[in-house]
Amino acid sequence: MTIADGELVTLVGPSGCGKSTLLKIIAGIEELTDGAIAINGRLINGLAPKDRGVAMVFQSYALYPHMSAAQNIGFALQMQRVPPAEIRTRVEEVGDVLGLTGMLDRLPRQLSGGQRQRVAIGRAILKEPDVFLFDEPLSNLDAALRVQMRSEIKQLHRRLGTTTIFVTHDQIEAMTMSDRIVVMNAGVIEQEGTPLELYDRPHNRFVAGFIGSPAMNFFSGRIQVRDMAHFVSDGGITFPLHKVPRNSDGRPVTCGIRPEHFELGRGNVDAEILEIEPTGSETHVLARVGDHDVMGVFRERISAAPGEKIRFATYSSRVHVFDKETGRRIP
C-alpha cells in the first residue's frame, strides 16, 4: 500500500482484521515481522517510535489525569527541555486552532469527551509529525459529538495538510472523511479506492457487503441469457442484468442490490412486509422475498403494516453480480 503525501486514508474492516495492528506497526508499538515501512523515502523499520516522525491519537485519549490540558499538550516539548515560555506559546497556538482557548488550565476530568479528544489531537499536532495515526478516536463519543468531531478533524487535515491514517468501524466516518478507503480482511487488503469507487464498484462480495449501511442484499442463483440477460434466484426471483460476459448462460452467481436501489410500487417482485422503520427522511422496510429477507430504503413515507404486500423493481445498472465460487465481481 502506498499513501500519497497529504492524503487522509481510512482503514476499515471487521474486528480482528489487522487495522489497529497495522497502525501500531507503523507507530513502532508492534514489531514488524516481514516487509518494510518507509516515510518520505526513509525506511523506519528499526527506528524507535520517537524517531519515526509519527504521532498517534488513541481511542482512550491516554491523557495524564494529574496534568492540565496545556501540560498534556506540551508534555513532549517539556521532555525535550524546550523553554517553558516557548512551550506555552506553542500550546496556546494549538489550543486556539482546536477551540480549547480558556480550557487549557483544566484537568482532564473537568473536560467533556470531545474536549479531551481535542487535547489528545493537540498533543499530536505539537509534535509536527510527518504522519498522523488515529486509532478509532471518536468511538467513545456520543452520536452528535462524533459528527462534530468528524467535521473538525476533516477541516484540521485540510488546514495542516499532514498525511493521516485513520482507523474506524464507522461506515459514515469512512465515507465522509476519506480521500481513500482501504478495506481489510484477515490481514489482507481486499480493495482500496475513493469512497464512491468502493461503493459503486466493489471488487468482490466481501467489499460489497462491508461498505454501505444498511448492508447490500444478496441473492443466490444463476445467469439466464435469452433475448436479454437476467439473474434468476434459487427461489425464482428475476432481475434484469445490464451486461454479462459471453457464454454466461447458466453460470452460478450471487446477485447484490443495495437497499436504496429498489424502486417501490412497480416491477415484478412481490414482497411481504416484516418491519417498517421510519427515520424521518427515509423509510427502512424489511420484507420477505421468496426465501430471502430483504432490506429496502425508500424516500417515500410508507403507510403500511407488517403482513401487507408491496411490489418493487430495480434498474439493471444497479445490480451487482459476483462469481458464486470466488466472490469476484462480474464483469
**Dist. CA 153–CA 136, nearest whole Å:** 12
Are 187 and 303 part of one and the same domain?
no
How high is the pLDDT of residue 202?
Answer: 98
CA 274 to CA 261: how far, in whole Å?
Answer: 19
* One-letter amino acid for residue 143 of the chain: A
Of 176, 208, 240, which residue sits at a domain end?
Answer: 208
331: which DSSP letter? -
Q: Is 172 found in the same domain as 274? A: no
Phi, psi of 68 (to 5 degrees): -70, 170
Q: Which domain holds residue 108?
A: 8-208
Residues 87 and 202 in one domain: yes
Distance CA 331, CA 245 (A): 6
pLDDT score at 68: 96
- Predicted local distance difference test score (pLDDT) of residue 139: 85
Tell me how many domains the chain contains: 2
Q: For strand 229-233 and strand 217-225, is the pairing parallel, antiparallel, or unpaired?
A: antiparallel
The CA distance from 183 to 198, in Å, is 9
Could you tell me the three cell numbers for 209?
Answer: 457487503
Per-residue pLDDT of the chain (331 residues; tens, 9 = 90+): 999 999 999 999 999 999 999 999 999 999 999 999 999 999 999 899 989 999 999 888 889 999 999 999 999 888 888 999 999 999 999 998 888 989 999 999 999 988 998 999 999 999 899 999 999 988 888 888 888 888 888 998 999 999 999 999 888 899 999 999 999 999 999 999 999 999 999 999 999 999 999 999 999 999 999 888 999 999 888 889 988 998 999 999 999 999 999 998 777 788 999 999 999 999 999 999 888 899 999 998 888 899 999 888 888 889 999 999 999 999 8
Q: Could you identify the residue written with the cell 499513501?
A: 3
Q: What is the pLDDT of residue 36?
A: 95
In angstroms, the Cα distances linking 46 to 35, 129, 133, 188 are 12, 18, 19, 23
Within-domain flag for 3: no
- CA nearest 217: which of 306, 314, 134? 314
205-237 burial code (b ≥16 CB/10 A, e <16): bbbbbbbbeeebbbbebbbbeeeebbbbbeeeb
Residue 143 grid cell: 452520536
One domain for residues 203 and 220: no
In this prediction, residue 236 carries a pLDDT of: 83
Domain end call among 163, 182, 208: 208
Q: Residue 265's pLDDT is what?
A: 78
- Whole-angstrom distance, CA of residue 291 vs CA of residue 269: 13
- The CATH number that applies at residue 200 is 3.40.50.300
- Same domain assignment for residues 198 and 97: yes
